[in-house]
Structures are given as C-alpha cells and as structure tokens.
Structure 1
Amino acid sequence: MSELYFLASGERLLGTDQGPVILSGPEMNKLNTVAVLKVGEVDSKHYFVALLSDEEPLKDILKSDLVGLRSLLALVQSEDEYCLLSTASQLVTWFYSFKYCPRCTAPLELHKDERAKVCHQCGHHQYPRISPCIIVLVRKGEQCLLAHAAKFASGRYSTLAGFIEAGESAEQAVHREIMEEVGIKVKNLRYCFSQSWPFPHSFMLGFMAEYDEGEITPDGIEILDADWFDPDKMPVLPPRFTIARRLINQFLEEIGREIEPDSDLFFPAE
C-alpha cells in the first residue's frame, strides 16, 4: 500500500485554495518532523499527518497562499476526504495540547502501539480528546427555527447547538440548550446522525425536535437573533460540509421541498 502524508506546521494543517498539501513517502524523507501520526486508510492508501519542526521551511508554499481548515473542508468531494481531514486536524491539536501528564506533570510520549500518549512516570494514558455536543433543528409545521450566533458571519443563520455537560444525557442537553439560548420548549426528539467536527475536537449528535411552547427569546450573548423560517424564504445557510446543513436538508426533504444543487454532496440527508 502507498503512504501519503498531510503536513502540519505548528497546530495548523497546511493547504491552499487547491486543497491540503499531501506528500508521498519519498518526498517526506527530505523533511524534518517532530512526529508522524497515523490518520487512516482509504482506497488501499495509508494516510498520515507529519508535524514539521519549527526549523523546516515551507518549501514551494507561500504563507500568503495558506488557507484555514474551513476553506479546506469546503473543497472536499467525498465523506472519506472529510473524515481524513477532520482526523488529521484533531490529531494535530491533540498532539500539541497534551505535552505533559495531567496527573504528575511529567512529559508525555507517543504510545508505540495505540493512538495515545503515555506517561512513563505514573503510567497515565492520554487519548485524543473528544467533546460531545448536540445540534438540533426545531420544526414548527413547515417552518424551522434558525438562529444567528454572535460568532457567525453577517446574515448567516444555523441550527442550535451546544456541549453536553457532565451528568447529562444527549436528550437532556437538547432541552437545556434550546431553553437557555432561545427560551422555548420542544418535544418529540428524534436522533438523526452524527459528525466529527474538528473545531477543535467536537463530536456532534444531530437531532430533530418539534416546537412545544414558549416565545423565542434569544439570550443576547451566544444567540443574537432567532426566528421561524419558511422553506421558500431561507437566510444564508451553513456550508454543505456541516451537519447543520444536513439537518436543514433533511427537514426540507421531509416536507417535500427540493434542496439546493450540490448542497448535499456527500452527506445524504436520509
């Protein structure tokens, strides 16, 4: 099997508007690396992410041409590509975020067999962090609830989402987040699908819910505006690679509406 390598400098995957930088095994022999982490296997090819040392120049790549992870994800053409990029990004974040043992503060080292770091002083194993979250589309007849968060670009609206807190079930988190962010109650929760979300290490559990009672009241901190939207009068929506867009697409299909061409490219709404 052939080996292919994503490149990372610091905590950033390297890529341009043409896609991520990927090198072959022989090309990697010329580079100085801090670590090489296994990402996954697709179509009989082994993928790794190579973390370049600080002294390694970005050969043949202009820093001004580099783009962020969201831009790279927007270019992917399959679910396999998305998962490879998501995994590579999260592994890079994990590698640099956990340098020392959280129990005894001794330096952590990569485990020789597992995807983990190990403390040789106290024996603690540190695995890549995964933060579970819920994301939910609320329906009210043939309308859906979409919100504009403080962190969003101007005009963009999306579904509601939040982290699952200690001791909560995913369903409890759905009810709590919706009440906290927009002040309404929901019912008839239905789990739909999930998505690994590398910003920086979230795992999104997607739900549909039906409106029960209450008036929409944005919290004014995380959510600046929220409203019920008709399928024919949608605002600017999340990009196609997001689970939020997948939930919106499923809603539209369930009420018999067509989705935009290519908006459901590789994550089918069913």
Structure 2
Amino acid sequence: MTKPYQRPSADEPAWWFICSAGEIVLDDNNQPPHGRLDDLPLPTLDDYGVVWLGEVRERSCYLVLADYGDDAFAALGEFQSLRPMIAQHDEEMFSMASRAKQITEFISTHRFCGRCGTRMQSVDWELAMQCHTCNHRCYPRISPCIIVAIRKGNEILLARGKRHRPGLFSVLAGFVEAGETLEQTLAREVMEEAGIKVSKVQYVCSQPWPFPNSLMMGFTAEWQSGELHLDPFELEEGDWFNIHDLPETPLAGTIAHRLIETVKSQIDQESEARD
C-alpha cells in the first residue's frame, strides 16, 4: 500500500485537492487542478502537509493542507465549498473531494491527544494520528446517518429543515446513535421528526457527505400508520406531495435526489402495470 504521506514527484501528473478551512480550490469548471508540479503555478510544497488520497482515472490524487486565507494557490482557482462539484455529476471526483475534505477535518481536529493532551504525530504507514505519550491512536471519524424517502400511495413526504433555504424541500435524515442499528435509527428518526410509522424499508445506496464527515445510507419506505406531526425544533414545514407535482428538491448528484427519483420510478412502474 502506498504510504499516505509520500511526497509527489515533480513530473507526476496528478489531481491536486488543496483544502483550507472546509473549502477546496476549484477551477472555472468546478474541478480541482490537474497537472504536474513542474507545469502548474504551485508554491513549493515543502511547507505544506501533503497526503496521498488514492487515484481517479489512473492519476494520483494529493491533498494539500493550505493555511486559512492562503493566496499562494490563487492562480489555480478559488477556495470554494464542495457543493458546486455536486452539479458536475462526476461521482468519482466528488467522492475523492469528499475524502480530501474529511481528512483535512480529521488532521486539523486531532493535533492534540484527546486522552492526555500531548501533541499528536502522523503515522507513516497508515492514515492515523498517534500519541507517543499514552499510545492513543485516532483514525478519520465517520458519522453514519440514515436518509429515507417515504411514500404514501402516489405521494412522497418532503420537509424543509431549518438549515434549508426557503423553498427547498428534501427527505428525512438523521444520525445513528450509539448502540443503534440502521433500522432502529430510521424508525426513531421518522417517528421523532414526522410522528409516523413506516414499513417495507429497502436499502438503496450510500454516499459520503463531507459536511463535515457523514456517511449517508439511503432507504425507501412506505407509510404504515399515524398522522403527520412535524417536529418544530427540526423542521420548518413539510407535507405529502404528489410525486408529479413537487416543490424544489435537492440537485441531481445528491443522495436525496436519487431517493426521490427511486420513489418516482416505483410509482410510475406501478401505474404502467395497472394500465
């Protein structure tokens, strides 16, 4: 296995994921810079942390840990949120960018040992931080959560959380708590946020969601019982919507969009079968 902290060679074509304060350098096409060190207007990397992330399309990917407000990379693009990359419909590239952002978050929040307070050191042969005083070792944190599209006949449950901008509705989601299975989390979150019970739960897909370190596990389900009672502390508004008359929903490329499209496909197939 390639060591995570190996240094790139000057003539190696690579993708460069330059991250700082939760943002990443993107070019005019909302892509990370690509090219050789010799050809790109990159500063010397001796003063930066560099992590080998993996490969995309047979090219190495390197994370460069930039300083906040660092303008040394201005010729390559601008520091932006990862969200513009979602609209590119390049799942492989977004996944690698997600990895870069999450590793940046991990390194920046594990400079000191959570057990004894000693400064942590990176491990050469794996992606981890080690305390050489008490031998406490940490790995990148992943916070699992469920996201579920619930249908009721030809309708789907959509809601707008307090962090959503006005007019944007999505499906329900929530974090897994210690000791829970995914199924238990789904049932609890749906009851807490909407006051209903569901059945026929089916797994669909998963997606890393680096805001900042989630792993979204997507499901569909069907309404079983209960009247809709939204949690006012979590949700601003929500309702059952006809699948062919929806408000604004998340962009293509998000797991929420895929789940909504999965429910729409199910309903359309059933309608065609009846006809």
Measured against the shorter chain, the TM-score band is: 0.7 to 0.9
- The equivalent residue for 1:7 is 18
Distance, in Å, in 1 between the alignment partners of 2:159 and 2:71 is 43
Other structure's SS at 2:95 match? helix
Q: 1:13·1:20 contact (CA, 8 Å) conserved in 2? A: no
Distance, in Å, in 1 between the alignment partners of 2:204 and 2:69 is 46
Distance, in Å, in 2 between the alignment partners of 1:112 and 1:197 is 27
Report 1:150-229 matches (<5 A): 150-229=162-241
Q: Which amino acid aligns with 1:95?
A: I
Distance, in Å, in 1 between the alignment partners of 2:21 and 2:195 is 41
* 1:44 matched to 2:58: yes
* 1:137 matched to 2:149: yes
Distance, in Å, in 2 between the alignment partners of 1:10 and 1:248 is 32
Other structure's SS at 1:256 match? helix
Deviations 1:105-158 (A, max 9, x none): 111111101011111112221100100000001111111111111110111110
Pick which of 49-58 and 37-46 moved more. Answer: 49-58
Distance, in Å, in 2 between the alignment partners of 1:182 and 1:89 is 32
Match of 1:90 among 86, 102, 113: 102
How far the C-alpha of 1:3 sits from its partner, in A, is: 2.8
Q: 2:18·2:25 contact (CA, 8 Å) conserved in 1? A: yes
Match of 1:72 among 60, 85, 90: 85
Distance, in Å, in 1 between the alignment partners of 2:22 and 2:245 is 39
- The equivalent residue for 1:123 is 135
Other structure's SS at 1:255 match? helix
Other structure's SS at 1:103 match? coil
Identity of aligned residues (%): 36
How far the C-alpha of 1:87 sits from its partner, in A, is: 0.8
TM-score normalised according to structure 1 size:
0.87
Distance, in Å, in 2 between the alignment partners of 1:36 and 1:62 is 17
Other structure's SS at 1:6 match? strand
Distance, in Å, in 1 between the alignment partners of 2:82 and 2:69 is 23
Distance, in Å, in 2 between the alignment partners of 1:199 and 1:71 is 13
Q: Which runs of 5+ in 1 are unaligned?
A: 258-270
Q: 2:23·2:80 contact (CA, 8 Å) conserved in 1? A: no
TM-score normalised according to structure 2 size:
0.86
- The equivalent residue for 2:71 is 57
Other structure's SS at 2:15 match? strand
How far the C-alpha of 1:17 sits from its partner, in A, is: 4.9
* 1:239 matched to 2:235: no
Distance, in Å, in 2 between the alignment partners of 1:224 and 1:54 is 34
Other structure's SS at 2:48 match? strand
Distance, in Å, in 2 between the alignment partners of 1:225 and 1:53 is 40
Other structure's SS at 1:246 match? helix
Deviations 1:169-191 (A, max 9, x none): 10000010011111111112111
Q: 1:32·1:56 contact (CA, 8 Å) conserved in 2? A: no
Distance, in Å, in 1 between the alignment partners of 2:181 and 2:128 is 27
How far the C-alpha of 1:244 sits from its partner, in A, is: 0.6
Distance, in Å, in 2 between the alignment partners of 1:179 and 1:211 is 11
Q: Which runs of 5+ in 2 are unaligned?
A: 1-11, 270-275
How far the C-alpha of 1:166 sits from its partner, in A, is: 0.7
Once superposed, what is the RMSD of the aligned Cα atoms? 2.1
Other structure's SS at 1:4 match? strand
How far the C-alpha of 1:95 sits from its partner, in A, is: 1.2
How far the C-alpha of 1:57 sits from its partner, in A, is: 2.8
Q: 2:27·2:76 contact (CA, 8 Å) conserved in 1? A: no
